[in-house]
Amino acid sequence: MSRQNGRQLHLNAFLMSVGHHEAAWRLPESDPHAHVDIDYFVELARTAERGKLDSIFFADSPVLMGDPGRRPGGKLEPTVILTAVAVQTSRIGLIATASTSYNDPYNLARRFASVDWVSKGRAGWNIVTTAGADAARNFGLDDTPDHRLRYEKAAEFVEVSTKLWDSWSDDAVIADKTLGIHADAEKVRKIDHHGEFFKIDGPLNVPRSPQGYPLLVQAGSSEDGKDFAARYAEAVFTAQQTLEDALAFYTDLKERTRAVGRDPDSVKILPGIVPVIGDTEQEARALDAELARLISPEYAHRQLAERFDLPLAALDLDSELPADLPSEDEIEGAKSRFTLIVNLARRERLTVRELIARLGGGRGHRTFAGTPVQVADTIEDWFARGAADGFNIMPAVLPSGLERFVDQVVPILQERGLFRTEYTETTLRGHYGLARPVNQFDAAGALVTAR
């Protein structure tokens, strides 16, 4: 029986080529060419599906991230990965990041609608605004647009996308061969959107997809990010190092959701966890230490200095962080992650070298090294205390980290009645217990009932 009165956990696997740990590719098990091998990703997805997970997720940015000399550089475009996975799995949900700053709504809305068709209702879109001048410089700009402006544009992007997805009524297609009428043309509408950032006539050139539109996911935890999530997100990925912080975030976001008139249950909050799993606690800690040993400290040192907007010399490896760091307001992008890292270092009085080791695995997400039971315990603990609706599982090393989670942790959660033993639904929204969105034009009784 459930220990949470039947309340069910949601589990997403956040898949990063050979694992979230930056040195994972150097382990003997890792295939250093996996990041361009679609069969590898399909295998990971099948493992997640074997574990009855709600979904898998691929992050993205339209730029070559990091130093390709130091770790596998570049990745396949994630809607391409989702599509290849979609036709070789049947239940697992499929989420990918795409940027509202560097895409056209018409093209992106159409691509996600297409993936939703191909997956028969399993597509999800992680909406990001994309920070960083290097990405901007791949799109004709000199620098990244201002944080607030990016979020305003993102809001309009989502609004116009839902209009495009709703431009076909669900019952628009009649397909009457005798009369030669394929669709009821009045149920296929122009949207004539003339906004601040976008001017789009529509309709979309794809009929409304199985889920209506993809699950909307969000992952920024800045003030702008939380307001955005409250308005639009159905699932939220977040980095939280402590139970207290996670509780505060959960309460805050649910409250903001209620404040904009949405049911707080319609947003599922999933903190990240980087489980380093061993048969014994000692084995788990040994793997953790081995990964830390493989990090190139020069590279991580440079990355950290860039994040703090400091010269390299200002960050002594064997001292704590300097007292005079910039404030979150002065940082452009990844604002909440910046604050999380500073708080972590200060709270635990970590040297820069120690901080680097802590960040190597999860880039700010919570790393937890332990046995399967210990991992299940911490998941249940946060869930029971109301700090999470589920978790974003971020294996440090792949494929073994996912296999261990699926084969060793999931059965414990199932035994405790916290997690499904079989899929009961066929769509991504179904897995998360969310309702299919009503078509805004049909609901408003616009053109359709005006006939």
Give the range of 55-63, 146-154, 304-312, 335-343 binding its own copies by CB under 8 A.
55-63
Q: Does residue 121 touch its own copies according to CB under 8 A? A: no
**Interaction of residue 88 with its own copies, rule CB under 8 A:** yes
Segment 207 to 266, residues that bind its own copies, using CB under 8 A: 207
- Judged by DSSP in three states, 348 sits in coil
Minimal distance, residue 257 CB to its own copies, in Å: 32
Contact pick of 46, 50, 65, 328 for its own copies (by CB under 8 A): 65
40 is a site residue for its own copies (CB under 8 A)? no
The answer to the question of residue 124 lying near its own copies (CB under 8 A) is no
Contact 252, 259 (CB under 8 A): no
Q: Which of 110, 262, 302, 353 binds its own copies (CB under 8 A)?
A: 110
Structure tokens given for 190: 């122009």
For residue 203, whether the previous peptide bond is cis, meaning omega lies within 30 degrees of 0, is yes
- With binding defined as CB under 8 A, does residue 180 bind its own copies? yes
User: What are the residues whose beta carbons fall under 8 Å from the beta carbon of 127, sequence distance 6 or more?
Assistant: 98, 100, 154, 157, 158, 216, 217, 218, 228, 232, 233
Please identify, using beta-carbon distances, which residue of 267 and 356 lies nearer to its own copies: 356
Question: First CA to last CA across the chain, in angstroms?
Answer: 53
Name which of residues 272 to 331 contact its own copies (CB under 8 A): 294, 296
Helix 78-86 vs helix 38-50: angle between axes, to the nearest 10 degrees? 60
**Residue 311: cis peptide before it, omega within 30 degrees of 0:** no
Letter string b/e over residues 264-274, b meaning 16 or more CB atoms within 10 A of that residue's CB = beebbbbbbbb
Compare residues 32 and 326 and give the one whose CB is closer to its own copies. Answer: 32
419 binds its own copies (CB under 8 A): no
The smaller minimum CB distance to its own copies, of residues 179 and 313, is found at 179
387 binds its own copies per the rule CB under 8 A:
no
Tokens of 425: 């639904």
Residue 5 or 178 having the CB closest to its own copies: 178
Q: Which is nearer to its own copies, 138 or 282 (CB)?
A: 138
CA distance 286 to 196: 54
80 sits near its own copies (criterion: CB under 8 A): yes
How near is the Cβ of 302 to its own copies at its closest, in Å? 13
443, 226, 57, 277: CA torsion to nearest 10: -140
**Residue from 115, 131, 273, 355 in contact with its own copies (CB under 8 A):** 115
Nearer to its own copies, 101 or 238 (CB): 101
19 is a site residue for its own copies (CB under 8 A) = no
Q: Rg (Cα) of the chain, in Å, rounded? A: 22
The SS3 of residue 138 is coil
